[in-house]
C-alpha cells in the first residue's frame, strides 16, 4: 500500500494534536519577508519558546530596503533595518538571523528561492517552521504571500527528497523532514499561544524596530497591546496561528484486496513514518 501526504489541522480528522513542545524544547525556524514581520506578529510566542529552551532561527528574504518615508538610500535603510532585527532577536533569545538579500517588494516564488530555503532547512533541521499564510484570500503584500508559498513548496516535497537540490549533498546536507508549520496571518487561526507573561518582552523587541513604529514610548506601546488583547476578549493576550501538521494517511486498498476489519476507519500513520514519494 502506498502512502500519500496529508495536511490535518486541529479542526480536521487529527483533531487534538499535542501542544508544540509538549515532549520538550524544539527547534523552530521563522521564515518571513522583512525585518519586523516576525516580531510584530509573533515576538511574544518567540520569547516564550526561547524561555522554554527552544532553539529559534530567523530567516528574512529581504532587508526591508523600501519601508520608509525618510530621506534614506536603499543601502542605508537596509543596513539600519538589519541591525534593528538583530537587536530584536537578541532581546528575544533568537540564536541566529539570516538575510537572503532579495529586493524588498520583489520576492517571487522561484526555484532559486525555494532552493535557498531548502538548504537552510537541511542545515538547521527545524522541527517547526513559522511563515506567512501565502494562500490567505484577503488583501496581502506580494512579499508576504510569496515567501509563504515558497516556504511551503520547500517543506513539501523538496526538503525531504534528496534528489531535489541534490547539490546540497556536497555540503554534507541531507534530506530533512519538517512535520509542523505555523502560519501567520491566517483568516482561520486554530492554534493560540498565551503570551501574557511575555508581552513586555514583545514590546521591547518591537521597539528595536525604531524605523517602523509610530511611538517609541514603551508605556504607550504596552497600553496599546493590552487594550488590543482586551478588545478581542476571552483568551487574554494571545498570538494566533494556523497549525498544519504534515502526516501520513494510508490510501484505501484496491477493491479486490482483502482489508482487516479495522480498515474502515484508517488512522494517520504517526508523524515521522515512512517517507513518501512525490
Mind listing the pLDDT tens digit for each residue in 49-104? 999 999 999 999 999 999 988 889 999 999 999 999 999 999 999 999 999 999 99
Are the C-beta atoms of residues 39 and 205 closer than 8 Å to each other?
A: yes
Instruction: Give 198 or 227, the one with higher predicted confidence.
Output: 198
- Number of C-beta neighbours around residue 206 at 10 A: 21
5-14 average pLDDT score: 46
How much is the mean pLDDT over the chain? 86
Nearest to 155 by CA among 7, 1, 269: 7
pLDDT, residue 234, reads: 56
Tell me the mean pLDDT in the region 157-185: 97
- What pLDDT, on a 0 to 100 scale, did the predictor assign at position 197? 96
**Angle, helix 218-232 to helix 199-208, in steps of 10 degrees:** 130
**Residue 256 — pLDDT band, cuts 50, 70, 90?**
low
Q: What is the mean pLDDT of residues 257-263?
A: 46
> What letter does residue 79 receive in the DSSP assignment?
H
- Averaged pLDDT, 3-25: 67
Q: What is the pLDDT of residue 69?
A: 86
Q: What is the pLDDT of residue 71?
A: 85
Question: What average pLDDT does range 172-186 have in this prediction?
Answer: 97
Alpha helices in the chain (DSSP H): 37-51, 74-92, 111-124, 142-155, 199-208, 218-232
- Tell me: pLDDT of 2 over 60: no
What lies within 8 Å, CB to CB, of 17 at 6+ separation is 8, 10, 243, 245
Write out pLDDT tens, residues 199-252. Answer: 999 999 999 999 999 899 999 999 999 988 776 655 579 999 999 998 765 455
Domains and CATH numbers, the chain: 3-264 (3.40.50.10320)
Tell me the mean pLDDT in the region 35-54: 98
> How many Cβ atoms are within 10 Å of 260's Cβ, its own excluded?
8
pLDDT per residue over 107-163, tens digit each?
A: 999 999 999 999 999 999 999 999 999 999 876 899 999 999 999 999 999 999 999
Global pTM reads 0.84
The pLDDT value recorded for residue 230 is: 73
How much is the pLDDT for 268?
32
Amino acid at each position: 500500500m502506498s502512502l500519500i501526504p496529508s495536511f490535518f489541522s486541529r479542526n480536521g480528522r487529527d483533531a487534538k494534536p499535542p501542544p508544540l513542545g509538549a515532549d520538550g524544547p524544539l527547534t523552530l525556524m521563522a521564515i518571513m519577508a522583512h525585518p519586523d514581520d516576525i516580531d510584530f506578529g509573533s515576538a511574544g510566542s518567540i520569547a516564550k519558546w526561547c524561555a522554554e529552551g527552544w532553539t529559534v532561527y530567523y530567516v528574512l528574504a529581504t532587508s526591508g530596503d523600501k519601508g520608509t518615508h525618510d530621506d534614506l538610500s536603499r543601502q542605508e535603510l537596509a543596513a539600519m533595518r538589519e541591525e534593528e532585527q538583530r537587536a530584536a532577536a537578541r532581546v528575544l533569545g533568537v540564536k541566529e538571523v539570516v538575510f537572503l538579500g532579495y529586493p524588498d517588494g520583489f520576492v517571487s516564488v522561484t526555484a532559486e528561492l525555494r532552493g535557498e530555503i531548502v538548504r537552510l532547512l537541511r542545515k538547521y533541521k527545524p522541527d517547526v517552521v513559522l511563515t506567512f499564510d501565502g494562500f490567505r484570500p484577503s488583501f496581502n503584500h506580494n512579499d508576504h504571500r510569496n515567501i509563504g508559498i515558497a516556504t511551503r513548496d520547500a517543506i513539501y516535497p523538496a526538503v525531504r527528497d534528496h534528489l531535489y537540490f541534490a547539490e546540497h549533498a556536497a555540503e554534507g546536507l541531507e534530506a530533512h523532514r519538517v512535520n509542523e508549520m505555523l502560519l501567520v496571518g491566517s483568516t482561520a487561526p486554530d492554534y493560540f499561544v498565551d503570551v501574557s507573561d511575555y508581552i513586555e518582552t514583545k514590546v521591547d523587541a518591537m521597539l528595536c524596530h525604531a524605523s517602523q513604529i509610530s511611538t517609541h514610548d514603551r508605556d504607550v506601546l504596552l497600553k496599546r497591546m493590552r487594550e488590543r488583547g482586551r478588545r478581542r476578549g476571552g483568551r487574554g493576550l494571545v498570538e494566533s496561528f494556523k497549525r498544519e501538521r504534515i502526516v501520513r494517511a494510508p490510501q484505501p486498498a484496491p477493491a479486490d484486496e482483502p482489508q482487516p476489519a479495522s480498515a474502515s476507519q484508517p488512522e494517520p500513520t504517526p508523524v515521522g513514518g515512512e517517507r513518501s514519494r512525490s
